[in-house]
Amino acid sequence: MPLSAATLIERIRGVFSTLPDTRGHSNNLNYLIQDAALSAFSVFFSQSPSFLDSQVRMQKQLGRNNASSLFGVHQIPSDNQIRNLLDPVPPETLFPLMATIGDELYSQGYLEAFRAINNTFLIALDGTDFFSSEKISCPCCSQSKLKNGKILHRHIAVTPTLVAPGQQNVIALAPQFVLPQDGHDKQDCERAAADRWLEQWGAHYSSWGITYLGDDLYCHQPYCQRVLSQHAHFLLTCKPDSHATLYEWVADLARNGEVTRVVRPRRIGKKQVTDTYRFVNQVPLRNTDDALMVNWFELVTTAQDGTVLFNNAWATSHRVTIENVASFAAAGRARWKIENENNNTLKTKGYHFEHNFGHGKQCLANLFATMILLAFLVHTTLEWVDAPYRAVRNALPSRRTFFEHLRALIHYLPFDDWNHLMRFMGKNPDPEPHDNG
């Protein structure tokens, strides 16, 4: 069945219908777990914290509501009931759904434009905080000791993202949360969570042909070897302070004239800059007899007056040549998309990723974070697969304007289904306001 808003919501409903229900038989079972999950998701999808309240009012006034017609909610639970029902649900129950959506985009050819160096796809990994409090905590919280001696309780997620140079969209993949680990004295961390993600999902994506991107935190031998064991490649930021041995080799080889240097002028608007690349293949990543041999390259961009505008270096398992070093640098710089187009979008573009919708006592904070990622993934998917949705987005290219219109309409007008809503929005696009002086 072709992907569309209706089919994706129906698929989400199907998964939500299988979520575990921990209530005993003696409890009040007026509300289904499915309704609680769909109600929560509808808030994140519509980017409207007050969506459910408006739908309760609409039901009383008009005898129908959009939570039902658009999202399939039978009965709308209260906010507290939603939190209580969903708190025990592990976020991992939604990970296969996110993976399936990405798999279908891949199999149906929507991701071909994301192919990058050596025909591989780029998956960037990065950790981001989405909750912190000195007072509120749960068993899933990490802990940091502050300078004043108090404990800061935090939720941290590694948010793997499919990125590509020149592509505005990114594809959110199933996350991995930093969690207290039973039987471990050492506290969990971003790097350990990334290792678990790779162990769980590396084989799943290996057939695509993958190059993993990461900052200097990931550029260490155990992680690189894990990537290689998954039949994948790595391209990771490599800083001198944390890779003294590698940079000693680069310096020695440079003195012997064995580091290749490529200089290419480039224009940015009316200004001319110079990109200077240096690279060398097969240098040790660390100072041990079993050191992994990696390929190193550097990019320094300078203005006409010699001012350094950009300077970074990477280690990769791909062989670097004069012909491909520029494309490798572009791929390395695409790692920033996980922060700009993914994490920053989630935090500042209406998804309220850092807002405490309900922390819970068990899994609620991480489950809600996963639902927000799922909503972001579905929005991105709809821009490709759903023609009416895409037409409306093209008519209202500003993300803010699109969601302002969406929220206003579904708050006050009932719609039969997604096609009805998109047709209505498509016939009544409101362009950006003119400046009337």
CATH 3.90.350.10 domain extents, the chain: 92-344
Q: What is the mean pLDDT of residues 306-317?
A: 97
Q: What DSSP element (H or E) covers 158?
A: strand 151-158
CA 76 to chain centre: 29
Run of H or E including 236: strand 233-237
Residues 6 or more apart in contact with residue 221 via CB below 8 angstroms = 285, 286, 288, 291, 292
* Tokens standing for residue 118: 């050596």
- Give the mean model confidence (pLDDT) for residues 10-14: 96
What SS3 state is found at 210?
A: strand
CA distance 425 to 409: 9
The domain 92-344 is classified under which CATH number: 3.90.1640.10, 3.90.350.10, 3.40.50.12780, 3.30.1330.40?
Answer: 3.90.350.10
Interval 333-383: pLDDT, tens: 999 999 999 999 999 999 999 999 999 999 999 999 999 999 999 999 999
Instruction: Give per-residue pLDDT as tens, 119-159.
Output: 999 999 999 999 999 999 998 998 888 989 899 999 999 99
Helix (H, G, I), strand (E, B) or coil at 156: strand
Whether 392 and 117 have beta carbons less than 8 Å apart is answered as: no
Mean pLDDT along residues 412-430: 89
- Could you tell me the pTM of the whole model? 0.93
Q: Would you say 178 and 186 are in contact if contact means Cβ atoms under 8 Å apart?
A: no
Mean pLDDT confidence for 258-282 = 96
Beta pairing, strands 210-214 & 121-124: parallel
Give the E-state strand segments of 31-137 in sequence order.
121-124, 127-133
